[in-house]
Structure 1
């Protein structure tokens, strides 16, 4: 007899006619063929041998062991197909050799034995696969929970850096390297059941490889943590800004939905990730307030607007002094502000501004003249244009005139 320590309990429960060495050889051959651990056959060969010899069905404690083996296979990351292949391989090997071990007396006995074995195989594999799937779903939920917690702590800038490094390692993140955060905001919100995050992660992994990448959702946004390197699997001639790559993928996979994508700058370390996230989030906010037409914004391109909004008291004074008189116009300040925005955005070309606003050139020039008469600042004068433009940008950042301008301590916050 050979040592059957790899399949504990088999020699005690196997029928006398099912030689231990024979079952050991079957288990080893099946495990080698399927490239799966021998231990996953514990109890399975016993119930098959008993089914072939006595015709009995699997007992509950045997199926319970198989159920536990399915869970163990999932936790070890063994593919489900390989585990099923292991069980089928063991079954046909045992059935092939069975006549040499058990002398069947007649055809009816063989038929009954075959039916019993097939039933046993079916029950065992059904239990195995069901347990494997349940365990896999549990593992996925656990990983998603750990991923969300890690992303939240990284974006918040958790102070326990050593612990953060340890938690990030299983996800392939080297926090000593530089990373950047990219945010994607759908115009219509992101439902909890939306599958866009999974789609986007597959795309990003294809572009950047399977390391240094995390994709998650947070507060209705898609959050992407990426290495500060160019995509390794894109042709050098077609490399785009990462924000453009993400936006293109979203439009391609979710046609009909409007997205705005913002990217922070890359920084090293765990605190760098939090800084990049804050930049990307601020870029999204600024782009929305400024009503920018571009769907992709980068933090580096929004620095001038950050300067404006940081000195809020000065911007409030500028808006009140320069644009305050526009409230005296019939219809209020908003139509004149829209005209100034379009005029500056089109390079001070009245015909282009009229096309953008879907109105006549005459209306545009009339409104520009109205601005000049009310404020004393001529939009066509280069010396005065800059002051007007900065005031308009500040008004949009503070959402004036829809909202009242901050006063007192609020203006200095």
Structure 2
């Protein structure tokens, strides 16, 4: 990770960590970098945070000042920016969003011309420019100054793309959607309505400060209650920029990314379409997923946390399905990044084709209890490299043996250490998480 760009772009509290000046400089550099041999075309999308407008205009000002044309998708999802970039010949795309973070945070995620997250070496060049280490880039003059273009049509083409993916009608299916008062508010309902579902929507009235607030994939209890209240067949909850999806089955049970990978992976394997009979997971995936995969002969790869790493593995090996427990699921036949709405369409395809309820499709997976505790620390590296913390982690791993596991890692976006234990019971998880957290606190590493 760089100084500013983490695993998911440049992210932090708006005008505190990520400022409008930063956004202007990112625009200045990208406009110049991609415009050295031709006039660059760069597309911008944003989520519903109040600060997203400020960053949109700052980025557009920087881009046009460097001679690039900035195409504005307005409020849209992260995967739609990826889709538009790769299908409409843009040099790169920019998404303004802090995903599942609170409304006062924001982020700048840059997507390359192939629809993937920007290469780390280019992010490093942006950082050097921001810090004044690489000199100034020239301002465009006269007819070379760029312009902004209203490009809502690009978002509409993405909606059409999603609708075209579905293989059959969702007629008579009662589907709940939680739009997290975010990007999917502008897209999700129209997709499901067009496919014939009886669509029930919550948290689709964004006001700039209610994105992710007690709603969406990080507050799945809202959709659980909604599915039960309305007696729905299935519910889908997205995060702020709709690149992740968590489902709720007909009984009100949570269907997270691990279960989604199993359901869709098994279905594709049965169809003979799962390349290498393999799904790509991260180190956070549940032991229960792996045991269920073993039973049906489905193989799996493990990567570091981050859909960026999942996609890299998929790209290198030709795999077509991968994702994270958090609901970032990548179907590489259709997308280059996690796409929450696409994920919900793929789940619907399995439900319709197998003629089974989502609860039935999940029955074969017995999920192990898992406890994750975030500890805010002064310095992430110092905390993870502390000898006493490392000794405590090793001791827990030894005691758990093959009946569980412990994972301690740095957050890619916050000054936080994540301590996760997976074991046979909740009590065992609590015991071992507490042991490690107590050492972190005793060592004075907590912020």
Range into which the TM-score falls when normalised by the shorter chain:
under 0.3
Larger % of strand: which? 2
Higher alpha-carbon Rg: 1
Greater relative contact order (Cα < 8 A, sep 6+): 2
Q: TM-score, normalised by structure 2?
A: 0.20
Larger % of helix: which? 1
Q: TM-score, normalised by structure 1?
A: 0.22
